[in-house]
Amino acid sequence: MSQFAGSLTRHPARVSFFWFAGTILLGMVLLTLPICRGTRSVEKHQPISWLDAAFTSTSAVCVTGLTVRSTGHDYSFTGQLIIAALIQVGGIGIMTVTTFVSFTFGARESLRQRAIISETLGAGSQADIRWVLRGVLLATLAVEAVGAAILAVNFAWRYGLPWDSALWHGAFHSVAAFCNAGFGLEDDNLMRYQHDPIVNFTIAIEIILGGIGFPVILDWHRQRVHPVGERWGHLLLHSKLMLLGTALLLLLGMLAFLVLEWDGALAGKPLAQKLMTSLFESTTPRTAGFNTVDYAKLTDATLFVTMLLMLIGAGPCSTGGGFKVSTFMVLACRAWSTFQGFGKVHVFRRSITHQIVERAVATALLFSIIASIGLLLLLTIEQSAGPNNNGDSGFRDMAFECVSALGTVGLSTGMTTKLSSLGRLIIILLMFLGRLGPLTVFVALARSERDRKIEFAAEEPLVG
């Protein structure tokens, strides 16, 4: 046991790997219990299978939102409560429970562990780790509580839901929004609320706050001693890249959706409605997965832009997935510096180290490779299904499904429920890889880093 604990201390990534895997297994077992079966499942004599429970548990813990069973009808209130709990621990667990376990195992190296965890959460090596974890929990609960209250009042007054149902709907959707999980209690997700600005903006704000990452939130909180106009200059480089990148991607995504769907999904709607829908559909690919439009009816161009946004995802140490906004910004800065002829990357009067650039390149490359392999396997496995209802082979829908799973987004064109058992297992694996991050998974499973005793002569292959 001591050897195992020591291994976890030296390799914190393994804590995340086994903690997430264990939580998924626990959720799978709980969701198969008869008490979790909803009214429709009972009426149709369709118990929750092990595969369906595993898919739902993985989607919840990995805060994805892809579903093969109706959350609001195939699961009882107990089942929905378990799903909400899995979403909550999956969304913030990697920053709280996982790090706490790693910290506990590393009691003899507490100072080293304290520094690692504090830096991971963006609190600085001298910060009190208990204050950091308490701040993360309080921020999460505060945002979710406010969001739940706003949504509950809106559901009760505007839609006439009983207060107990309105409170549950508000709480469930608030937790799912902040944790960037696209689970909804209605089969059409949020499409019935497309014209509701309260639902749209409340959910969108929670998605952004959950996806921007706790390091940015903590960094902004630390700058409260400075006037608002001076806080930007005191922020860490990571916070600046995240805030700028998030704003840029939201704006570009909104404009792309508005232009590409002007005569499509947005046809006949007032300008204010078009702008609100475009903003929401630009926000939700930040790995949230909620939708107010039918993605099966969107143009191929819109789906392609959405896939790019889903791959980028949210921020590090956030409740979202993807290969991260900061990674994208580092790659963009590296490309711009190369274009200008500079060997080093300088931005906001700071230098980005070569090691960070290498890690960004490796992360983006791994995501691309895994997405390609997942799509190839899915196409091969589902080929026997033949053309879909639109008369094509389903390449577009399967590509969208793979990217959505790997980016832990949850958006779908309707392919999820049509997948075979083996196809669903592939999506489960993609969701797991996407939530932890390919680099984390590989570090968790790889051998300890070794130094070569021999140095070889350097040679430069041709690239580009």
pLDDT, tens digit, 9 for 90 and up, residues 73-92: 899 999 999 999 999 988 87
- Could you tell me if residue 261 is inside a domain? yes
CA angle 119, 329, 97 (to 5 degrees): 30
Task: Say what percent of the chain tops pLDDT 90.
Answer: 47
Higher pLDDT, 97 or 366: 366
Whether the pLDDT of residue 53 is over 90: the answer is yes
Instruction: For 403-427, write each residue's pLDDT tens digit.
Output: 999 999 989 998 888 899 999 999 9
Task: Say what percent of the chain tops pLDDT 70.
Answer: 80
CA distances, 386 to each of 127, 381, 382, 390 (Å):
57, 11, 8, 11
Residue 459 φ/ψ, nearest 5 degrees: -145, 145
- Could you tell me if residue 26 is inside a domain? yes
Instruction: For 193-252, write each residue's pLDDT tens digit.
Output: 999 999 999 999 999 999 898 888 888 888 888 887 788 888 889 899 999 999 999 999
Strand runs labelled E in 128-254: none
Task: Say how many domains are in the chain.
Answer: 1
Q: Which residue in 198, 201, 153, 142 sits closest to 175, CA to CA?
A: 142
β-bridge partners, 352: 345
- Could you tell me if residue 16 is inside a domain? yes
Mean pLDDT of 296-308: 94
- Could you tell me if residue 70 is inside a domain? yes
Contact 363, 390 (CB under 8 A): no
Q: Using the 8-state DSSP alphabet, how is residue 456 labeled? A: P
- Could you tell me if residue 460 is inside a domain? no
Q: Using the 8-state DSSP alphabet, how is residue 346 labeled? A: E
Distance separating the N- and C-terminal Cα atoms of the chain = 50
- Could you tell me if residue 191 is inside a domain? yes
For residue 266, the enclosing domain spans 2-445
- Could you tell me if residue 7 is inside a domain? yes
Whether the pLDDT of residue 98 is over 60: the answer is no
Single-letter residue type at 47 = P
Contact 285, 409 (CB under 8 A): yes
- Could you tell me if residue 327 is inside a domain? yes
Residue 332 pLDDT: 93
